């Protein structure tokens, strides 16, 4: 797993399975917010453009 940072790799290798699951859940949690923000931005742009046509 060369894609992980040194600290994440050390925690996962030195810990048990629950620690690895926690790290993976944390990464997933942090990845959700940029996608939500981009989705909300596109929604408001779409709504604004649709409002201008009517």
The pLDDT tens digits for 1-44 are 455 677 777 777 787 788 888 888 888 888 999 999 999 999 99
pLDDT of residue 1: 47
Q: Quote the pTM value.
A: 0.57
Mean pLDDT value across residues 43-52: 92
- How many residues in the chain? 54
pLDDT of residue 26: 87
What is the torsional sign of CA 37, 42, 45, 51?
negative
Can you say how many angstroms the Cα of residue 29 is from the centroid of all Cα atoms in its chain?
5
pLDDT of residue 3: 56
């Amino acid at each position: 797993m060369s894609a992980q940072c040194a600290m994440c790799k050390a925690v996962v290798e030195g810990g048990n399975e629950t620690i690895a699951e926690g790290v993976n859940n944390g990464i997933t949690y942090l990845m959700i917010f940029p996608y939500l923000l981009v989705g909300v931005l596109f929604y408001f742009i779409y709504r604004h453009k649709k409002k201008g046509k009517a």
